[in-house]
Amino acid sequence: MELTKKRWIILISSCFINLCIGSMYAWSVFAGPMAKYLSQVTGATLTAGTLAIVFTVTNSVGPITMITGGRINDTFGPQKVIFFGGILFGGGMILSGFANGLGMLVIGYGILTGLGIGMVYGCTINNSIKFFPDKRGFVGGITTACYGFSTVIISPVANILINNFGVTVAFKIIGATFLIIVCGCSVLIEKCPAGFVPEGWTPPVSQGNKLNKNDKNWKEMISTPIFYVMMLVFLCGAFYGLMCSSMASPLAQGMIGMSVTAATTVVSVLALFSTCGRIIAGYLSDKIGRNNTLSAGFVLAVVGLTCLYFSGQGDVMKFYAGIIVVGLSFGAFMSVLPGFVADQFGTTHNSVNYGIMFIGFAISGYFGPTVMKNVYAADQSYQRAFLIAAILCVIGFGLTFIYRYMHKKEIAGNK
């Protein structure tokens, strides 16, 4: 009974930690001012698009520490992993404040911050899911929602700090604050015991995925064809979200002609509706299933990307409609995936398994912003990028039906 109550403290601590590391999605607020600052320092002409490589690196290196940190988490527990990850994350932000060139910014914000996020994110979510086998979708939604909601808070705060003290000081203040919060909250995190069952809850033995009965380690996971379908679903779903998140502020300024302050509001709106999507989808996925929720998310994404495609120059209403729907669908996608992986491959090795599955996210973290940047360089317009992303969402929608067929066939074969 004590651990059943204590799991809520662990969940709340994990949520505070994710509120800090989710500030990664506020990158577009820093990108413009940092490009201007580095242009003055180096004498080269840098733009927010030029600095997109920093956000790309941050996303790309995450799976490295999600996998290695996940192995340490499964062996020794999440407390040490989160503490060290907090030092990497906060330290990377602080180092970014001392950057005097693109290379140093890539090392600080790209590599160190990205590695820290990978260590922390994997532990907080997977450990929380293990403590709540009775509310797996809901807890996945809440923990990822805090990760997404961070941008709602950080974007205006960062903008105020940048306007009053400069972008480099803003990096240092935010980095130091987050280092203290993440490392401090890590002390309250405990490892979930193997086979933990909350007091008063009986696992539903009638379901195909019996609690800890069909667990697979990473070698067993990657030997199954269904893993690769899930990886592709991950890739298609992450592409459009990371593409829009990395360039939300420049999009608002370039497509609609918004001021820097107004564009910062767009970043917050995207993050706010992403947060709503995570909570709603997390709850909904416990009722209608993870895969059905993912299918609905892809349909929403196509609607949102279509709105952005037709928003053109100056159509504020269509632009905001697109940003809101994209935020909802991307948030839904991110909240469902941790439980999706745990349902399919079990919770015992989920820290490592989810880290490997997160490679799909990292690939999209590279190609999403890169496609956006290259399309704009070729067309002087972002529209074709939205079309590419929408096509990938249609493919992702089709993949959810392939997964459904393979999953049913797998269950039938196990009977």
> Domain coordinates of the chain in residue numbers?
2-193+219-414
- Residue with the bigger pLDDT between 389 and 414: it is 389
Three-state secondary structure call for residue 314: coil
User: Is residue 209 predicted with pLDDT exceeding 50?
Assistant: no
pLDDT of residue 120: 92
Cα–Cα distances in Å, from 373 out to 47, 132, 205, 243? 11, 41, 50, 9
pLDDT of residue 1: 54
Q: Are 232 and 402 in contact (CB under 8 A)?
A: no
- DSSP tag of 326: H
User: Is residue 324 predicted with pLDDT exceeding 60?
Assistant: yes
Task: Pick the closest to residue 124 from 89, 92, 77, 90 (CA basis).
Answer: 77
Query: Taking residues 167-174, what's their average pLDDT?
Result: 96
User: Is residue 167 predicted with pLDDT exceeding 60?
Assistant: yes
pLDDT of residue 56: 82
pLDDT in tens, 10-30: 999 999 999 999 888 788 789
Among 172-176, 208-212, 294-298, 320-324, name the one with the lowest average pLDDT. Answer: 208-212
pTM of the model: 0.76
User: Mean pLDDT over all residues of the chain?
Assistant: 87
User: Is residue 211 predicted with pLDDT exceeding 50?
Assistant: no
User: Is residue 351 predicted with pLDDT exceeding 60?
Assistant: yes
Query: Taking residues 76-92, what's their average pLDDT?
Result: 92
CA distance 347 to 322: 36
Alpha helices of 289-382 — where are they, by DSSP H? 290-311, 316-345, 350-357, 359-379
Banded pLDDT at 145 (limits 50, 70, 90): confident
pLDDT of residue 313: 65
The top-level CATH class assigned to 2-193+219-414 is mainly alpha
CA distance 120 to 207: 31
